[in-house]
Amino acid sequence: METEHRVQNLHRNGSCQIDRCSCGQYHVSIGRMTMHLTAVQFFSVAHAMQSIDWESQSIGELNL
């Protein structure tokens, strides 16, 4: 018997979606890719992204 997972949306915009699942994981979707992260992994990635000085970055510098 499969257990049904419940998902709480934490953030959604045109670029990404972040959900917290009843299975204990965070589901981070960017485009067609979805990462399933534990809480430790999710908050580690969130902390790393938060520490980036976004104001000093520009599209030209990133070569996107």
- Tell me which residue has tokens 């510098």: 61
- Tell me which residue has tokens 């000093």: 56
Task: Say whether pLDDT at 54 is over 90.
Answer: no
Task: Say whether pLDDT at 1 is over 70.
Answer: no
Q: What rounded mean pLDDT belongs to the chain?
A: 88
Question: Could you tell me where the beta strands, DSSP code E, fall in 1-64?
Answer: 7-12, 16-21, 26-30, 33-37
pLDDT for 3 equals 80
Among residues 57, 52, 42, 44, the alpha carbon closest in space to that of 11 is found at 42
CB atoms < 10 A from the CB of 20, how many? 16
Task: Say whether pLDDT at 62 is over 60.
Answer: no
Q: Is the CB of residue 28 less than 8 Å from the CB of residue 37?
A: yes
The pTM assigned to this predicted structure is: 0.73
